[in-house]
Amino acid sequence: MTTSSVTSQPAPRSAGPAGLINSTAADLLAFKRLNVAMTVTRNGAGLKATISSTGELAERLKREDVILTAQPVDGELFIAATATSPTPLPLVFLDFDGDVPQRLHFGARR
């Protein structure tokens, strides 16, 4: 007797391809870590992210907010750049609660 098994693929998240940009979650997202805050809003077919220094870091740096524009690769991954540095940086949204991401990974470490 021969047995076979079928491995099922996980169902796609509600934030599937271009899902985040089409959901109401993209109207305003806010993320904060230590002395850095990022707000993300819808910007046409992409996203606009504003990075602000807070607390002691803001007092020491005394710099203006950094504005990023990001274009979707899929429902969770966006490629971002600033007006002064067009080098692409990844924005990866993680840990979705429905179509609302709970975490954001920005950039990469070397």
Mind listing the pLDDT tens digit of every residue in the chain (110 residues)?
444 444 434 334 444 434 666 666 667 788 888 899 999 988 888 899 999 999 898 899 888 899 999 999 988 899 999 888 878 899 998 888 877 888 888 876 55
* Continuous H helices in the chain: 19-22, 55-61
User: Is residue 97 domain-resident?
Assistant: yes
User: Is residue 86 domain-resident?
Assistant: yes
| Segments forming the whole domain that contains residue 78 | 28-106
**79 pairs with which residues across the strands?**
71, 90
User: Is residue 78 domain-resident?
Assistant: yes
User: Is residue 19 domain-resident?
Assistant: no
User: Is residue 20 domain-resident?
Assistant: no
User: Is residue 63 domain-resident?
Assistant: yes
**30 pairs with which residues across the strands?**
39
User: Is residue 71 domain-resident?
Assistant: yes
